[in-house]
């Protein structure tokens, strides 16, 4: 079993490295069993789409991703498109850290910097870790690189909430602050500020 896993990792690395050197995305999409209208990474394991936003003429897709093996430590993969048919894979957006692997979440456009994280506008990602705590990351360069917000390493862990933080819309409330909701089993409860 361990030997098979090592072979799979080596094969995936070879495919990934050769794809990044000699293959174009068009070459990858000529593979016989690869979906033609849905994004799929060149190599690795892909799961739930998370943050999907339109910003500055580009559609961004973030998704759970394990780059080397099936169901390894979760990252957030990232791809973009101008037409929702042709996709360009981008470098991994969010990596696991000392809190743990990155799981589900959402992304929003913060055009007016209401979060205080993206002067001039940008993208904000709200995500959960494997241990159900939540985090925030932001991008000031059209989603090309991401910084995890260091002001709060992770929100308080709520045992009764959904694993997926959700944001509603792209415009914060009129009073100019961001509101977080925790989701209990049967109702939405505003998070105390």
Active-site positions read 48
State the Cα–Cα distance between residues 148 and 88, nearest whole angstrom: 23
CB 142 within 8 A of CB 53: no
Q: Are strands 102-110 and 122-129 parallel, antiparallel or unpaired?
A: antiparallel
Cα-Cα-Cα-Cα dihedral sign, residues 146, 144, 52, 76: negative
CB 75 within 8 A of CB 102: yes
């Amino acid at each position: 079993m361990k030997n098979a896993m090592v072979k799979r990792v080596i094969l995936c690395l070879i495919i990934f490295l050769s794809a990044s050197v000699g293959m174009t995305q068009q070459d990858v999409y000529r593979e016989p069993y690869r979906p033609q209208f849905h994004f799929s990474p060149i190599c690795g394991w892909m799961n739930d789409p998370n943050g999907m936003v339109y910003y500055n003429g580009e559609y961004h897709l973030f998704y759970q991703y394990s780059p080397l093996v099936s169901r390894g430590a979760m990252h957030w993969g990232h791809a973009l498109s101008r037409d929702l048919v042709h996709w360009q894979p981008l470098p991994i957006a969010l990596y696991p850290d000392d809190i743990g692997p990155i799981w589900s979440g959402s992304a929003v456009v913060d055009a007016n910097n209401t979060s205080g994280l993206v002067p001039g506008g940008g993208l904000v990602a709200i995500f959960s870790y494997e241990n159900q705590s939540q985090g925030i990351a932001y991008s000031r360069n059209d989603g090309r690189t991401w910084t995890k917000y260091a002001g709060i390493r992770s929100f308080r862990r709520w045992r009764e909430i959904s694993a997926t933080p959700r944001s509603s819309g792209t415009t914060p409330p009129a009073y100019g602050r961001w509101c977080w909701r925790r989701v209990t089993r049967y109702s939405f409860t505003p998070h105390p500020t």
